[in-house]
């Protein structure tokens, strides 16, 4: 049985490039393979605009501002509910601000597709229980992100403007 990645576009601010949905599915599958997640999984990915993600960020994190991505894990300690219709373990939801992703892609000098793939990989690791509350956890998570993005041929460039500045914790979704 295969993984299910359900992708919904709930925004009109940024045109979704062709092939982006395929790349997101590849990114989700790459994380699951890298993490040796054996069971079939179900993940929901939703594209929103800055206003919608700011509302969610305020509602769930008490931060009334847009962020790049929010992760809503459904599992606890590696245990997940199973969708009886398809037998998949339900990992959770990923919400990506396409406006913020476009802004960050422009800032870092890489394509929107690479930024969305990074945000997907980062959020998938959250769904699997990783976090970056302290520096040690952040280093572990960042090393996994780099390895997975390398597997997808989307590694960070050597040009400093292509590298996310500082540790992962500079992302607004911490």
Question: Could you read off the pLDDT of 123-145 as tens digits, one per residue?
Answer: 999 999 998 888 888 899 999 99
Question: What length does the chain have?
Answer: 174
Give the confidence band of 1 by pLDDT, cuts at 50, 70, 90.
Answer: low
Structure confidence by residue, pLDDT tens digits, 21-75:
999 999 999 999 999 998 999 999 999 999 999 999 999 999 999 999 999 999 9
Give the integer Cα–Cα distance in Å for 160 and 47: 28
Structure confidence by residue, pLDDT tens digits, 98-131:
999 999 999 999 999 999 999 999 999 999 999 8
What is the value of pTM for the model shown? 0.88
Give the confidence band of 162 by pLDDT, cuts at 50, 70, 90.
Answer: very low
- As a dihedral over the C-alpha atoms of residue 110, residue 113, residue 116, residue 117, rounded to 10 degrees, the angle is -100
Both tokens assigned to 86: 């398809």
Beta-carbon-side half-sphere exposure of residue 86 (alpha carbons within 13 Å): 14
């Amino acid at each position: 049985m295969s993984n299910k990645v359900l992708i919904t576009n709930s925004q009109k601010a940024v045109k979704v490039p062709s092939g982006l949905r395929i790349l997101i599915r590849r990114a989700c599958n790459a994380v699951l393979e890298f993490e040796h997640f054996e069971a079939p999984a179900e993940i929901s990915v939703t594209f929103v605009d800055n206003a919608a993600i700011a509302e969610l960020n305020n509602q769930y994190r008490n931060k009334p501002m847009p962020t790049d991505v929010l992760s809503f894990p459904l599992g606890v300690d590696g245990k997940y509910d199973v969708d009886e219709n398809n037998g998949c373990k339900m990992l959770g939801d990923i919400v990506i601000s396409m406006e913020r992703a476009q802004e960050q892609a422009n800032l870092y000098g890489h394509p929107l597709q690479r930024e969305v793939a990074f945000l997907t990989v980062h959020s998938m690791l959250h769904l699997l229980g990783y976090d970056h509350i302290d520096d040690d956890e952040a280093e572990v998570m960042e090393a996994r992100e780099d390895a997975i993005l390398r597997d997808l041929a989307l590694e960070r460039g050597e040009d400093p403007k292509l590298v996310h500045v500082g540790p992962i914790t500079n992302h607004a979704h911490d």
